[in-house]
Amino acid sequence: MSNIRHSYYSRREKVQAALEMIRRMKEKWADDPVMLHLIGELEPLVLRLAESYQGVDTRPATLEVQEADEARDRAGRAFFFHLKGIAYSAGPDEVLEAAGRLLHLLAADGLGWLHDSYTLQSQKTRELLDGLGELEADVEKCRARAFVDQIAITQADFEKKLTERGAVAAEKPEPVTAAAPEFERALTATLLMIERRPADTARAYVLEPFSRLNRRYRGGSTGQTPTPGA
């Protein structure tokens, strides 16, 4: 899997970044047959999409989805730390046991699921809310109703924003919609092959257009959270 989770960005931005990346690939690896083959696969798709984009801009809707996703992440972590605080306290046994059950439901394998794809995280969140509905007594013992409600609210808002973004994306010119899946596959394959090269200045230079997107969206972090491309 590529370290650059390019599904986090709008497709318009990825097309622009890919155009610049291709230019740099030609500059640095003009004599590399593997890289030239990748360019040959990717460039026609990028040019087709670049020419087709007109009028419809999904970036504002994509940003709203990202913000809604971050809000539900915060809600999950807040609930986790609330329960951890109880678990490390000297409270009554029944409260500690309730916190333990809730923690097991929330994070039996840690909180890594908060960084899964949108679809997987939504599935896990719905399962979590269903489970919490069966542990109402434990929620009340831990005075965690506000945290549970916030998880439900942020999940509903995320789903609403995702639906709204889908409606915007549906208005794109037909060539964009038709070429998008093939573009995504070609881009993923290209990024994977580039990342397998030695970690030298040439590789960093070629990947910089996407690294720049990482910094813009994640405040300087190189980690990404996947989201559907726009």
Q: What is the pLDDT along the chain (230 residues), one digit of tens a residue?
A: 455 655 557 788 888 899 999 999 999 999 999 999 999 999 999 988 887 765 567 778 888 999 999 999 999 999 999 999 999 998 899 999 999 999 999 999 999 999 888 889 999 999 999 999 999 999 999 999 999 999 999 999 999 999 988 877 666 656 666 778 899 999 999 999 999 999 999 999 999 998 887 654 444 333 333 333 44
Let me know whether 183 and 156 are in one domain. Answer: no
Same domain, 77 and 137: yes
Claim to verify: residue 133 and residue 113 sit in the same structural domain: yes
Q: Provide DSSP, 177-199.
A: HHHHHHHHHHHHHHHHHHHTS-S
Give a yes or no: residue 87 inside a domain: yes
**pTM of the full predicted structure?**
0.55
Burial of 23 per CB tally in 10 Å (0-12, 13-18, 19+): middle
Task: Clarify whether residues 73 and 161 are in a common domain.
Answer: yes
Considering the domain boundaries, does residue 118 fall inside one? yes
**Domain limits for position 116:** 67-166
The set of residues, in sequence order, having a beta carbon less than 8 Å from that of 20 and lying 6+ positions away, is: 209
Task: Give residues with Cβ within 8 angstroms of 168, minimum separation 6.
Answer: 56, 58, 61, 230
Residue 230 in any domain: the answer is no
> Residue 222: which of 206, 207, 200, 202 has the closest Cα?
207
